[in-house]
Amino acid sequence: MPSHHLITGGQRSGKSRHAERLGLRWLAQSDAHSVTVLATAVASDEEMRERIARHRADRPDGFETVEAPVHLGAALRAASAPGRLLIVDCLTLWLVNALMPMHVQEHASSPVSAAAVRAVWSDLRMDFLSALDEELASPVLLVSNEIGCGVIPMGAEVRQFVDELGRLNQDVAQCCAQLTLMVAGQPFTKAVEKWA
């Protein structure tokens, strides 16, 4: 079974760049290798559109991009293939997409409740973790922010988001063989210690 690798760190710490460097190493190993980026960002405003465009422009030649803003488990299964490395960039934005009821609201006839959003997130999360735990043909590099190192944030919604991302990162790490913490563009990598 291919091994997965979680790359985490603060904003602008070099997470995506490190994943891309690992992708280039993958491509250099064999002409039969390919890299697919599962991009989770949604262009919700002009600044985000510019950020997405910058990420796309900075990606190395030969990297295919698949938009996967919500149904990440299904996207992993669909993109997985022998010789293909998958890069999920990033879990933080995926969580934002899942917890923001815009995609749910589009198909609802009345406002969506917080309980409905939590139920949708629970289903998306379980499907994604199941996909990672399956015998995918592809190794997966997963990029996520580490936002729980600062002071406890003000506001219940922000604290809940920080807690949920922390839980997600812990669960994803259990599906991985390696974990890298990025600090100032430098990777600190270790093998994942599995829970009993």
Q: Tell me the one-letter amino acid at 166.
A: G
Q: Are strands 5-9 and 186-191 parallel, antiparallel or unpaired?
A: unpaired
| Residue 148, SS3 per DSSP | coil
Based on the residue annotation, tell me whether 55 is a catalytic residue of this protein. yes
145 touches 92 (CB < 8 A)? yes
Measured between alpha carbons, how far is 133 from 145 in angstroms, rounded to an integer? 21
Q: Enter the tokens of residue 74.
A: 């299904």
In the set 4, 5, 18, 55, the catalytic residue is 55
21 touches 188 (CB < 8 A)? no
| Catalytic annotation, residues | 55
